[in-house]
Structure 1
Amino acid sequence: MGEFVDIELRHARTVAIIERAGSISKAAAELNIPQSSLTAQLRRIEKAVGGQLFVRSPSGVVPTALGEHLIPMLADLIQRADMVIVEAAAHASEVFRFGNAEWTPPSLHSALQSSLPAAEVQTETLSPADAVEAVYRGWLGAALVPSMSLVAPADLPETVLDQAVVVREPVWLAVPREHALTRRTAVEMDQLATFRWVRYARNHWFHPIEKHLFDKADCADPEVLHYVDGHHEAMNWVREARAAALTTPSGATPDVSLVPISDTESTEMLLVWRRGSMAKAMLSRLVKTVRGYYREYARTIPRYWSWIKEHPGDFPELGRTIGAGRQPVVSLASALCQDGPTPSSA
């Protein structure tokens, strides 16, 4: 039997990816290596553990009896190693890295830095799926992403990440500033078929939400001018091409108009972090600061803020201060006193 000490963490990850993918070819594609190289690597791993881990067939691979015994142990090894990386990074560095989907305004960085004065805050904009992966790997301390069902890898262990709802954002219509619909209280779903549209690329997290709304409006094949890769690009097309787009209110820009849609859908915006990676007090400050930041940002969108005040039941995470006066989001004392569920109850 081979020496088990020959098995390295990278070998454990390789076995886990093969088991999850269900075939050598799919795993090779995920790892971006030739299938022959992965097959040779698997043979070396199996030689080290003293037997086959998988039974190969034209339809894929399934674990052998030895595989069923060892693969869960290798998966546990990976999880423990990742936790070591997270803990070591937390103690060895005073940098807190925060990820955000779509775009990260300087005011968000300032709010985070004020609430976490003991750390140097670094912010990064990246795709939601990449942000979730980075949090899982310990490369980010936390990230603000849309609903996990839209962006999280299907194989992500549920026990590794925790999350708190920041807000449930409605999906609204964005039109040029002087458009006649801007005087309407709301538009009906069946009116969506009358516009020229800017839509989101099929690999963008917002695309499934957009598609669901078009299907709901019996508007599965509208006139489309352009497919975009983000909300701000969509808003540029709304302004310059006189088109319409669906968006969350926080995804709009001041040079377009927002119109509520009757019977619309909402998407959860989540704060995601790795379980056990932060002290409870720090986590509480972070959650409340991000919620406070969102509340202050919503105030800069007049129609949206009015809507929030008129429908407080739709925004429970923003707390009782919806109807109160302005509170500086950058104040640590204010962040600690804001209402709303704790991370454990969110």
Structure 2
Amino acid sequence: MDLELRHLKAIRAIADAGSLTRAATALGLAQPALSAQLKRIERALGGALFERSREGVRTTALGDLVLDRARVVLPAVCELQEEAVRFAREGAGGYRLGGTHGPLLGSLVDRLARTEPGTPVTTHTSWSEREIARGVAAGRLDFALVGVCGESAPPEAGRLAWTEVARDPVYVMLAADHPLASRTELDLAELAVEAWTDVPGDGCFGDCFAAACVRAGFTPACVYETDTASCVHLVQVGRAVGLCRATFPPTPGIVTRPLTGAPLIWRHLLGWHPEGRAAGRAATVLHHTRAAHAAALAHSAGLLTAPGHNAVAGAD
């Protein structure tokens, strides 16, 4: 016979009550049934756990050992069960969001928190769109907020449901004192001699950018791949020009300009598992995500006097 939690509970009840009769009453069992159960437990453990007398029962040395362990194990199991129930209850009503870096994820968290106060919202960020998508496919995340270049397929396309939130033309960021800053639109070929900066990622944006440059007649001489703040700094000090979208707020010392013909497009996507626990809330999350994008776009456009917007490409 394998020892079970109910056996430990019986041992504890007998020790606490001091008699089989009182323990049986506390456990809701008949005294003969508890006595028979105790005999089976003692056989499984290799010795007597209690000494019986007219005054009741008293633990043996083996009984003391088992009882000491039971007093540790039983509360721990009870706590585990309570935490599991609480986690399942909160998880079922919460949102586990994954995304690459940028303002949309933060705005989505804010909107969910305001409209559903008390509902847990957790986030996981990564430069890797594939990592985020794998997290949703494996059930570790409920939703993925990522971006892809042009018409490229999103990661885990065969396992996840993907919906387009919005699409932005990719712009170029220049230092405010750059010789071309006064222009309202730039041809990509005019930037052939520039150093470039963008953020890392495992999508195809880097390849799409390289292909657009080749079509424009040049190959970028230098590309600094770094975090968003460093990209902005390199542009501000004139060390490089950057690629940008509409959802990044205006930044001092930087102007943004559209590229003639919009050679690069960035699509914001929301993904979820069609059979996942949160699939029924996809419409709600999509609504808030689109509202977050619209608000970010309006904020950027409203604060800029020249055409164009600030958004470091590759950061969602």
Class of the TM-score when normalised by the shorter of the 2 chains: 0.5 to 0.7
Pairwise CA distance, 1:228: 1.4
Call closer, same or farther: CA 1:157–1:290 in 2, change over 3 Å. Answer: closer
Structure 2 partner of 1:243: 240
In the aligned structure 2, how far is the partner of 1:139 from the partner of 1:303? Answer: 38
Call closer, same or farther: CA 1:281–1:151 in 2, change over 3 Å. Answer: closer
* Equivalence map 1:183-222=2 (5 Å): 183-199=182-198, 203=202, 206-220=205-219, 222=220
Call closer, same or farther: CA 1:99–1:253 in 2, change over 3 Å. Answer: farther
* Equivalence map 1:1-346=2 (5 Å): 93=91, 94-103=93-102, 106-117=106-117, 119-127=119-127, 128-147=129-148, 149=152, 152=155, 156=156, 158=158, 160-199=159-198, 203=202, 206-220=205-219, 222-224=220-222, 226-251=223-248, 254-255=251-252, 256-263=254-261, 264-277=263-276, 282-302=281-301
Call closer, same or farther: CA 1:280–1:197 in 2, change over 3 Å. Answer: closer
Larger RCO (CA under 8 A, 6+ residues apart): 2
In the aligned structure 2, how far is the partner of 1:206 from the partner of 1:300? Answer: 25
Over the matched positions of the two proteins, sequence identity in percent amounts to 20
Call closer, same or farther: CA 1:307–1:270 in 2, change over 3 Å. Answer: farther
Pairwise CA distance, 1:150: 6.4
TM-score (norm 2): 0.59
Call closer, same or farther: CA 1:190–1:253 in 2, change over 3 Å. Answer: same
* Conserved 8 A contact 1:200-1:206: no
**Higher gyration radius (CA):** 2
Structure 2 partner of 1:15: none
In the aligned structure 2, how far is the partner of 1:223 from the partner of 1:115? Answer: 48
Pairwise CA distance, 1:279: 6.1
Pairwise CA distance, 1:95: 3.2
Pairwise CA distance, 1:235: 1.8
What code does the residue aligned with 1:228 have? E
**Structure 1, unaligned runs of 5 or more:** 1-88, 309-346
Pairwise CA distance, 1:280: 6.6
Call closer, same or farther: CA 1:113–1:179 in 2, change over 3 Å. Answer: same
- SS of the counterpart of 2:181? helix
In the aligned structure 1, how far is the partner of 2:286 from the partner of 2:299? Answer: 21
Aligned length in residues:
215
* Conserved 8 A contact 1:200-1:230: yes
> Which structure shows the higher helix fraction?
1
Pairwise CA distance, 1:268: 1.1
In the aligned structure 1, how far is the partner of 2:307 from the partner of 2:256? Answer: 11
In the aligned structure 1, how far is the partner of 2:297 from the partner of 2:246? Answer: 8
- SS of the counterpart of 1:277? coil
What code does the residue aligned with 1:270 have? L
In the aligned structure 2, how far is the partner of 1:219 from the partner of 1:179? Answer: 20
In the aligned structure 2, how far is the partner of 1:141 from the partner of 1:115? Answer: 18
In the aligned structure 1, how far is the partner of 2:154 from the partner of 2:280? Answer: 28
**Structure 2, unaligned runs of 5 or more:** 1-86, 309-316
Structure 1 partner of 2:22: none
In the aligned structure 2, how far is the partner of 1:229 from the partner of 1:204? Answer: 15
Call closer, same or farther: CA 1:161–1:135 in 2, change over 3 Å. Answer: same
Call closer, same or farther: CA 1:209–1:250 in 2, change over 3 Å. Answer: farther
RMSD: 3.2
TM-score (norm 1): 0.54
